[in-house]
Amino acid sequence: MTAALLELENLVIEIPGRDAGMALDFPVLPGQCWGLLGPNGAGKTTLLHTLAGLRRPHAGRVLLDGQDLHGVPRRRIAQRLGLVFQDHYDGFPSTVLETALIGRHPFLRAWNMETAEDHGLALRALAQMDLEDLADRRVQTLSGGERQRLALATLLTQDPPLWLLDEPTNHLDLHHQVAVLDLVRREVASGRRGALLALHDLNLAATYCTHLVLMYPDGGMCWGCTEEIFHVRALERLFQQKLAVMDTSDGVWVRPVPAA
């Protein structure tokens, strides 16, 4: 059995105004892609931040190599997992290449300057995200979708074994949505990597995720393999939204039913 990238041990996330929730208890293994599904405010972002060690859990622990994440130095955490945020802050001028290059930060010592090798990694990551032509552009001039792809390029430069992605398809056009999720699936399928993604599109989640976590607004949780979890009744209850099901040769597709 392969070692877990991260273990959730009776983990209850801290949501203001919610007393407690159901505890999450599962390991994230290489080769797994977990989709987090739930309505706004259910705690998808909070869960991702807790798994990255940015927030303390309400109860339970997150384990990295069997050690409580809270006691692990940030630098070591950053070598093992990366998080792409929903929003990106660019207060000061910097170029696209510089922004990708900060992904190397966890691997460089205080006195090291970035080497040609680091630049090479960043440029390759930009190319994977179709951004190589923009390397010298100022970040502030990018469109929302280009900025989102740059955040993913920074993650690719960081190259951690575990990817935490908060709505990675935000702002992306259809082609790049599929391109990003294809990339995640390819990397995960290589068996070296695992991923957790907060997603809003149910069909994309069903297509690309090996496992799902359904996060209910009252703190209820439900998790497991996608085939076991992806049930229309559960999804309707999750989103308080009537869904129509299309059983195609390519699996089950769901579509929201408009109010009459």
Residues engaged in binding other proteins (CB under 8 A): 49, 52-54, 73-79, 82-83, 85, 88-95, 98-99, 102-103, 105-106, 108, 110-111, 113, 136-138, 140-141, 158
Would you say 163 or 223 has its CB closer to other proteins? 163
Would you say 41 or 191 has its CB closer to other proteins? 41
Q: How far is the CB of 103 from other proteins (least distance, A)?
A: 7
Would you say 71 or 91 has its CB closer to other proteins? 91
Q: How far is the CB of 9 from other proteins (least distance, A)?
A: 22
Q: How far is the CB of 107 from other proteins (least distance, A)?
A: 9
User: Environment class of residue 178 by beta-carbon count within 10 Å: exposed (0-12), middle (13-18) or buried (19+)?
Assistant: middle
Q: How far is the CB of 154 from other proteins (least distance, A)?
A: 8
Q: How far is the CB of 124 from other proteins (least distance, A)?
A: 19
Would you say 2 or 112 has its CB closer to other proteins? 112
